[in-house]
């Protein structure tokens, strides 16, 4: 048996919509399918305004520009996250103040935030790991009290909720990924959700190379020109056409992923009962969009050997983030605080294959192998 970690989902409509985009004769950014996708996202999830981007990394780049991040600013970011969460802010010369994860969940420990706030702090970046919400009420309360911005790294979190509010719609900004490893995808893609109206006009300008091109095409101005900083953050309408097909199949995808996730959870429960592994926690305020199935081993050696055992049996399970405060790029810039929970997740977390085409038979085989490893 050979089971890869991921197979990107595709329906039978991506090519049809790409052909429609070609027929429409507008293949650059902000075309028909870009607008269609943005409208659906805004309507379905209550974002004030969305802009498709070429990646979540790019949406985070736009956030750092919109917040006018400058050298010396401090940004609170979890150590247990993907590099992209920190990249845009580091490039602006900001100091990354890494925060630890909760002990029971890889999301940031909201009780640690206030201790890290100084007069230089500008932004908090919660990451909704595995699509499971951080405690957003608490985080927004702290941000409002100290006059800080919040950008949600919602890369994993499409179609997931916190107390009924969609993730990415709660902070001033939210950033999504449509990379092929996410629930819906277009190879490489992303989206900026703008929830604070003050940022909408400038976001559109930064998105289109610092010009007011979007306003021009809506007839709101008689010429378009250089207005501000920016870059080329908008994807081709070909990517948007692909994404639109995925968006139409979101419910189908989610239903299947949910079934797979629950099957893993049930199948591995006996190991948790014996305290051999820890299964994922979904706090009562959060939904589970099943972006990922992970569990946590007792130590690194047991985790590493499990990954080898699965690989020897044809199954590609993987570990995840390495603590950013220990990364080659940032370890000498980090202020030296230990972040033990981040390190535990780096050392002990396992992610299992979870994709639309995974069959029940394959899944039962994976579960059996894990149960046998612990026998
Ligand atoms: C995937 C991911 C990103 C980056 O997304 P891209 O679309 O590949 O740029 C950012 N943050 C987190 C937490 C991610 O998992």
Domains of the chain with CATH codes = 14-248 (3.40.640.10), 250-374 (3.90.1150.10)
**Residue nearest (by alpha carbon) to ligand 1 atom 8:** 179
DSSP per position, 299-366:
SHHHHHHHHHHHHHTTB--B--PPPGGGSTTTTTTS-----HHHHHHHHHEEEE---TT--HHHHHHH
Q: What is the mean pLDDT of residues 304-311?
A: 98
Tokens 């081709």 appear where? 236
Measure CA 109 to chain center.
18
pLDDT value for 10: 96
pLDDT value for 1: 74
Distance 132 CA to ligand 1 centre (A): 15
Nearest to 156 by CA among 233, 65, 237, 257: 257
Nearest to 200 by CA among 50, 55, 53: 50
Chain mean pLDDT for the chain: 97
**Protein residues whose CB sits closer than 6 Å to any atom of ligand 1:** 55-57, 81-82, 84-85, 127, 153, 155-156, 177, 179, 190
Q: How far apart are CA 29 and CA 77, in angstroms?
A: 31
Q: What is the mean pLDDT of residues 316-336?
A: 97
Query: Who's near 180: CB < 8 A, 6+ residues apart?
Result: 6, 8, 187, 188
Q: Are the CB atoms for 140 and 114 separated by under 8 Å? A: no
Mutate to test the pocket of ligand 1, among 52, 56, 64, 167 (most ligand atoms within 8 A of CB): 56
Backbone phi, then psi, for 97, in 5-degree steps? Answer: -100, 105
Q: Are the CB atoms for 362 and 263 separated by under 8 Å? A: no
Q: Are the CB atoms for 225 and 251 separated by under 8 Å? A: no
- Percentages of the chain per state (helix, strand, coil), in multiples of 5: 40, 15, 40
0.85 cut: is pTM over it? yes
**For residue 251, is pLDDT > 90?**
yes
Q: What is the mean pLDDT of residues 77-86?
A: 98
Distance 373 CA to ligand 1 centre (A): 32
Q: Which helix (H) or strand (E) holds 158?
A: none
Atom of ligand 1 nearest to the CA of 57: 9
Distance 126 CA to ligand 1 centre (A): 13
Query: Who's near 94: CB < 8 A, 6+ residues apart?
Result: 64, 69, 70, 71, 72, 73, 74, 75, 122
Q: What is the mean pLDDT of residues 289-310?
A: 98
Atom of ligand 1 nearest to the CA of 81: 13
Distance 303 CA to ligand 1 centre (A): 24
Distance 176 CA to ligand 1 centre (A): 8
Atom of ligand 1 nearest to the CA of 84: 10
Distance 24 CA to ligand 1 centre (A): 31
pLDDT value for 290: 98
Q: How far apart are CA 44 and CA 177, in angstroms?
A: 17
Q: Are the CB atoms for 126 and 139 separated by under 8 Å? A: yes
**Residue nearest (by alpha carbon) to ligand 1 atom 14:** 155
Q: Are the CB atoms for 127 and 175 separated by under 8 Å? A: no
**For residue 24, is pLDDT > 90?**
yes
Nearest to 341 by CA among 124, 106, 98: 106
pLDDT tens-digit readout, 172-221 = 999 999 999 999 999 999 999 999 999 999 999 999 999 999 899 899 98
pLDDT value for 155: 98
pLDDT tens-digit readout, 122-147 = 999 999 999 999 999 999 999 999 99
Nearest to 89 by CA among 342, 321, 326, 324: 324
Nearest to 288 by CA among 315, 261, 313, 268: 261
Q: Are the CB atoms for 89 and 64 separated by under 8 Å? A: yes
**SS3 call for 208:** strand
Q: Are the CB atoms for 227 and 82 separated by under 8 Å? A: no
Six token digits for residue 74: 């401090």
Distance 276 CA to ligand 1 centre (A): 30
CA end-to-end span of the chain, whole Å? 21
Six token digits for residue 151: 């950008």
Nearest to 121 by CA among 85, 63, 173, 72: 72
Atom of ligand 1 nearest to the CA of 178: 7
């Amino acid at each position: 048996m050979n089971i890869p970690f991921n197979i990107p989902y595709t329906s039978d409509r991506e090519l049809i919509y790409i052909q429609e985009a070609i027929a429409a004769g507008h293949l650059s950014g902000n075309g028909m399918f870009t607008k269609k996708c943005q409208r659906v996202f805004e309507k379905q999830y209550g974002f004030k305004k969305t802009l498709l981007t070429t990646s979540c990394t790019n949406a985070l780049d736009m956030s750092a520009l919109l917040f006018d991040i400058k050298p010396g600013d401090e940004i609170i970011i979890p150590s247990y996250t993907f590099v992209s969460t920190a990249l845009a802010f580091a490039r602006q010369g900001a100091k990354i103040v890494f925060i630890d994860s909760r002990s029971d969940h890889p999301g940031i420990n909201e009780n640690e935030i206030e201790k890290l706030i100084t007069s230089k702090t500008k932004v908090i970046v919660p990451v909704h790991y595995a699509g499971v919400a951080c405690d957003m009420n608490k985080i927004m309360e702290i941000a409002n009290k100290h006059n800080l911005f919040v950008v949600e790294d919602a890369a994993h979190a499409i179609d997931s909720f916190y107390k009924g509010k969609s993730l990415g719609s709660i902070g001033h900004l939210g950033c999504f990924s449509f990379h092929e490893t996410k629930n819906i995808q277009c190879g490489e893609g992303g989206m900026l959700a703008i929830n604070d109206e003050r940022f909408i006009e400038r976001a559109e300008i930064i998105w289109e190379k610092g010009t007011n091109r979007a306003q021009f095409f809506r007839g709101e101005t008689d010429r378009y020109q250089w207005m501000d900083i920016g870059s080329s953050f908008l994807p081709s309408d070909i990517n948007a056409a692909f994404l639109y097909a995925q968006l139409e199949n979101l419910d189908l995808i989610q239903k299947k992923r949910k079934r797979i996730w629950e099957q893993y959870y049930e199948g591995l429960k006996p190991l948790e009962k014996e305290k051999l592994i820890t299964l994922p926690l979904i706090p009562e305020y959060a939904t589970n969009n099943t972006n990922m199935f992970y569990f946590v081993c007792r130590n690194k050696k047991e985790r590493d050997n499990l990954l080898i055992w699965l690989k020897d049996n044809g199954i590609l399970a993987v570990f995840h983030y390495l603590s950013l405060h220990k990364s080659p790029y940032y370890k000498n810039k980090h202020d030296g605080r230990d972040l033990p929970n981040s390190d535990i997740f780096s050392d002990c977390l396992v992610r299992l294959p979870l994709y639309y085409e995974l069959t029940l038979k394959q899944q039962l085989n994976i579960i059996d192998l894990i149960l046998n490893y612990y026998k």
